[in-house]
Structure 1
Amino acid sequence: MKTINFEALFSASPNPYVLVDLSLNIVGLNDAYLKVTMRERDDLVGRNMFDAFPSDPDSPSHRQLRNSFDKVIREKAADHIPIIEYAIPLPNGQGFEERFWSATHTPLFNHAGEMIFILQHTVDVTELHRLRALARSSVLPSGPSALIETDMFRRAQAVQEANQVLTEERQHLRGLFEQAPGFMAALSGPDHVFTMANAAYLRLIGRENIIGKSVREALPEVVEQGFLALLDRVYQNGQPFVGRSIRIVLEPDASGASEERFLDFVYQPIFDPDGKVSGIFVQGHDVTEQKRNEEALRESEERFRVIANSIDQMIWATQPNGFHDYYNQRWYEYTGVPEGTTDGEGWNDMFHPEDQDRAWRVWRRCLETGEPYHIEYRLRHRSGEYRWVLGRAQPLRDSSGRIVRWYGSCTDIHDLKHAQEETRRLAAMLAERVAELDEANEEIQRFAYIVSHDLRAPLVNVMGFTSELEAAQTEVERFYQHVLGRDPQLVTPAARMAVETDLPEAIGFIRSSTVKMDKLINAILKLSREGRRVLMPEPLSIGQLLEAQCQSVAHQLQERGAELIVETVPDLTSDRLAIEQVFGNLVDNAVKYLDPSRPGRIVVRGRDLGANVQLEIQDNGRGIDPKDFERIFDLFRRSGVQDQQGEGIGLAHVRALVRRLGGTITVSSRLGEGSTFTVVLPKYISLNSEAA
């Protein structure tokens, strides 16, 4: 058993203390104990209590002491002996001296709750016992002897009460020592032998049964790490050592797996009554997690700085109270101010004078409420110009929801803001122009309606008179034939020419012209009515609609030996009548202008463009001259050889309908190869954007 200097904790106590293990071997004692027993430390430490202080095993005092120790071991609770006779050997073999004691035996436990030692606290009551015996043997039953005995009992009671107080104090201190959140241990002598270690210390090193062992024996891995040298230095010079975040590598288990820890600790020298260092008290805290966390935070901050300095935006940060204490390099490059000059409230001077109060008012409200910061203001650029920026900030909160930092950014939106203003200006101009066009279109429609209506009235008269002329022509021809049969000499060449040629041609020309004019007027009226018709959006199956168109031109396709192929096309929501007229006209034109010199082929295909759909009608017909790409969409304008019936209204009507539906129509073509009409329409028609 290694020597344990128990005076590390009880050297200053005037009361005798001795520490024994469960085999009743003495493992520690203080100077007060050596004094009352008149013994040397080396003579007692390591010896059994009953060997060091022998007595007759059959004597009452021996049994009384043995029974107290056994009771403590059995019940794991403190036991008190009010008075026990126990002689102590005198120095130099001079015999034994009769002594009487009051003893308290207290169990001590390790962090696992196992009892490992018994602490004996003794009080020498020999004098008290002798006074009491003298009082009892006095011939006087009262008087001085009675007073002496009464005083003796007061002293005995006082001693007992003092013992109880000391025991409670000792237990309280022991409890505090064991329950302390920081680790603590007591080391004795130049070899730094463990005399005490609390639960936190044992958890730290990951091992038990270190009491009585030196640091070298209990923690061999720390020797090469310099901790033993530190202990030696403190023991030798008597100066405490304070360590902050000191790295230590421990090997807490038999597998040899090492564990890195970081400790804050103090090596405090313990002095004996002569002022010499007798041991070292170790106290500290495991700060490994904290160390791994300022490290994680430091790395996180470093990453933040690298990222913040690598982006084009200006980044800044503030304390919870809004005090600015960080800007990235972009801020200084953008503003051109020296570093640090905009810390705190200095950045307010960077705002345009007209924006300062507003920006501060918004910022203070965010600091009070914790709501995100979002504002546009003008910031002074290094050129001296005030440029518009977008300011944003978000609070960073801890686990309890408390704001610990604000992180914000400034984004230059000066060009964007001017572009937006220009866009709004152009949009206003466009809206005004569209309104003018709408008004003009309405006027044109009203004019077309009025003109067509006014044209129809005289046309009806012309057609009526033409009918009368045709009736008169019949009578003239009958009279002409009658004269010709009776007297051919009466018919002059001029009359013959007028009756047989000129009159029929004139009436036929008048008739064909009025029919053509009637069709034109009907077409104009139709366009006018279509422009005023309210669109009725509905989900449309474009594939079914085109199949219906195929059926309507099936006869013409068969006559021309042509085919019409409808590939997969996307659906949309639009006005059914308008869509039918658009694709009816386009398919009809494709069939009408096929090249008779080769088999005709018409293909309709489409694709989804997201918000829009695109539909194509491709043919291998005669084609269109590029110079006519635009004019074919004009009213009454046609392209190429005019060998097909038409008034030049169909494509104009198609473009008007497509525009009203919110779409566009274009054509691409090569003469002699064919044409492709491309229609782009919104997938969902918006009546608010109708273009008449």
Structure 2
Amino acid sequence: MTDPTEQRFRTLFEQAPFSVQLLSVDGRTVMVNRAWQDLWGAHEGDPLLAFVLGEYDMLADPQLEAKGVTPYLRRAFAGEAMRIPAIHYDPAVLGKPGQARWVEATACPITDGQGRVAEIMLIHEDVTDRLLAERQLRASESQFRTIADALPQMVWSTLPDGFHDYYNRQWYEFTGMPLGSTDGEAWNGMFHPEDQPRAWEVWRHSLRTGQSYEIEYRLRHRSGEYRWVLGRALPVRNEQGAIVRWMGTCTDIHEQKRTRDELLAANRRKDDFLAMLAHELRNPLAPVSTAAHLLRAASGDPAKVERCADIIERQVRHMTELVDDLLDVSRVTRGLVELEHRPVELKAVLANAIEQVRPLIEARGHGLTTRMASGDVYVLGDRARLIQVVSNLLNNAAKYTPANGSLSLSMEVGAQVEVRVEDNGMGIEPQLLPHVFELFTQGERTPDRAQGGLGLGLALVKHLVELHGGRVLAASAGRGLGAAFAVTLPLLEAVDPSLSAAHAPAHLPAAARTLRVLVVDDNRDAAATLGMLLETLGHEVRVSHDPLQGLEAARDQAFDAFILDIGLPGMDGYALAGRLRELPQARAATFIALTGYGSANDRQRGGAAGFDHYLVKPADLGELARLLDQVQERGT
């Protein structure tokens, strides 16, 4: 009668879903189950099965020895449970023709009551599909890593819970960190301390909700600098929609962000400038308007009339300076300014600049010290523009220095000549210092600087100095610690003093002979005041505010000179000049344009339209008087 235990064992052995081979202590096969027969293709009646169950000795098989299996078996027979690595078998060995297979095995010793090994249970597993899948996965991972390393961005990956387990080569090159040192949560320590809490908050929100991750933060570069990067990540989902991985990138946007921030800052400065421009242009209008009312109300009081005239002249001069600054900066920055290139004695330039700024210096109670190099110092350039450079720097120092401050102007000569303007005033904030020579940049405006200018002076200084082949630098120790500006120019040696530029003062010459002058300008005040001035010089003047009326006046009367505005209603000054030139009595007259349009193109149009001279408002009235003197000379 069969033992029930043995029967159960045989049933389990035979029905086991995996290949089982039972070996005796001498390496011979005692029995195999059905799964073994299916794996090796050796069923009942097959010679292979008869061979294995008969004379085959696994410990003496040279092929197993060559494949490295025998040592594992010997250790198993010595009493160790052994896991035998996957062995490759060709189709001739296995019962699946045409396809090589990989088989992995486990050798389990079976001991008797005294602990001696009685048999070995050898369990086989066909791992071909698994190994092929792993091989494909490795190939896929290799391709992924190759592609990721070829990208210009930093690429990273995490497990579904956010554990960082992969970074590409760019990450380590950017950060300079050792391989694997930022795995897990160590990545957060690479962020700027101010950005870490926000980065954690956004990342945890993405992990919690499955929403995409996007954030800008500062990442520590291998140089130690924190650079702005754009971090992005998307979840990778399986067929059921579950997140199986997060894939992310970091893109260096430092330069783009800095450029964007600079553009935004420039835009803010422009807005501030426009607001300041409106303020500065409105300020003089109040005293001008008040003075005009006083003139009307107190026309019989010569003292008040004189004071009102002074106020109007002073405020108009201030507004003219503002507009001139705007036009100057526009022309200089667009390369439309042509400089004279003549020997200029620099000490005279400094003296002239001091005289221009002295009223402001004295009004604010400043002390000014000067220190000059000995002898004459010459540079090649434009005298008027160099005076403008130095006077702008002195004017700036005076405005930004509280009352009763100290200013200094010095000149030193070496390989080049350096002009230095220093003050003990408000100083320049460190964040403003790199931008002081940019357009629309200005320091803090204080209540005692009601007419502080437009913040264009230093931009103009920089461009003019560079046009002279020099450079200008600014320095300040900080707020309240004063500022210094140094202009360096090429030195000119061996100069003939007779070649130095002269600068004659402007004056209004009285008319030697009376001219008949027609003024056409739709600005009634401008036309009326110009007419009165020309009459004061001794000319006969007729004023018209309409181009057609001016044309009729020229038909009725011969004029020696026409002074025409360009922006006239219905017919511009160019067309009016052409119509007037057609009149026989006006062909020999002198045509002078007096307008607010001053571009090179406007001047060219003026010449083409027949104008002899082109003056831009507010014109130098001395120059206008001299032009009319030339008309007199031709007429005599």
Q: TM-score range by the shorter chain?
A: 0.3 to 0.5
**TM-score (norm. length: structure 2):** 0.39
Give the alignment's TM-score, normalised by structure 1: 0.36
Q: Which of these two proteins has the greater Rg computed from alpha carbons?
A: 1
